[in-house]
Amino acid sequence: MTNTPTSAPAPRLAHTAQLTAAELREARTFLDTVFDGDFSDDDWDHTVGGMHALLTDAHGIAAHGSVVQRRVVHAGRSLRIGYVEGVAVRADLRRRGLGGAVMAALEEVVERSYAYGALSASEEGAALYAGRGWQVWPGRLGVLGPAGEERLAEEEGTTYVWAAHPRGGLGALDPERPLLFDWRDGDVL
């Protein structure tokens, strides 16, 4: 696992089922605010159902991220991966290590439960992920949708993969073969 800055507290880890209705409403409101209203119902649906890493302060949620299970078909195998969603830090607290602390907690979940981690990064978030050892997937991406395999060319170059077990690395994944994600409503990645 990568280093967590010593200045940032350790996030609380909780499964969606362990969060109260009020905590879930607060998390949804937080993500709506941090993403300037560009966080849809589908985005929220993709964020729940797994483990959340939450940092709070006197003003409420300071940082959030979650990891949910996804299936990826690659080179004839179905891989269980931890997909990172809803990583955000409140605007007044950015650049203080909170995003790194959230990611460290989520990486620990991925390391203990999955073969790989994956996420789709915004331009703003890309440096955080790359600095923690996440690598841009260099190959094709797709989804196994209702009509069969569909290419996701617009996600290529912004989807990152992380090897949960460093000695295995990404070498077991063949960039000449696509990563085919399971279907879900809304943005599939």
Please state, in angstroms and rounded to a whole number, the distance separating the CA atoms of residues 30 and 89: 9
Q: What pLDDT shows up at residue 70?
A: 95
Q: What pLDDT shows up at residue 3?
A: 43
Q: What pLDDT shows up at residue 138?
A: 95
Please state, in angstroms and rounded to a whole number, the distance separating the CA atoms of residues 87 and 180: 23
Which one is predicted more confidently, 90 or 9?
A: 90
- Taking 80 as the threshold, does the pLDDT of residue 5 lie above it? no
- In single-letter form, the type of residue at position 13 comes to L
What is the rounded average pLDDT of the residues 10-18?
A: 97
**Which of 182, 187, 188 minimizes the C-alpha distance to 144?**
182
Which one is predicted more confidently, 73 or 3?
A: 73
Q: What pLDDT shows up at residue 133?
A: 93
- Taking 50 as the threshold, does the pLDDT of residue 1 lie above it? no
Backbone angles phi, psi at 97, to 5 degrees: 90, 0
Write out pLDDT tens, residues 110-137. 999 998 999 999 988 899 999 999 999 9
The pairing of beta strand 51-57 with beta strand 60-74: antiparallel
- Taking 50 as the threshold, does the pLDDT of residue 145 lie above it? yes
Q: What pLDDT shows up at residue 6?
A: 47
Write out pLDDT tens, residues 26-64. 999 999 999 998 999 999 999 999 999 999 999 999 999
Please state, in angstroms and rounded to a whole number, the distance separating the CA atoms of residues 139 and 81: 17
User: Cα dihedral sign for 103, 27, 61, 21?
Assistant: negative
Q: What pLDDT shows up at residue 124?
A: 86
**Which of 158, 138, 152 minimizes the C-alpha distance to 181?**
152
Please state, in angstroms and rounded to a whole number, the distance separating the CA atoms of residues 81 and 71: 6
What DSSP letter does each residue of 46-100 carry, written as one string?
Answer: HH-SSEEEEEEETTEEEEEEEEEEEEEEETTEEEEEEEEEEEEE-GGGTTSSHHH
Contacts of 164 (CB under 8 A, 6+ apart): 82, 107, 110, 111, 114, 115, 116, 117
The single-letter DSSP state of residue 10 is: P
Pick one of 2.60.40.10, 3.40.1350.10, 3.40.630.30, 3.40.50.300 as the CATH number of 12-182: 3.40.630.30
Distances (CA, A) of 143 to 99, 132, 152, 189: 28, 26, 7, 9
At residue 177, the 3 state secondary structure works out as coil
Tokens 């569909």 — which residue?
150
**What are the boundaries of each domain within the chain?**
12-182
User: Cα dihedral sign for 162, 165, 168, 172?
Assistant: negative
% of the chain at pLDDT higher than 90: 77
Q: What pLDDT shows up at residue 185?
A: 85
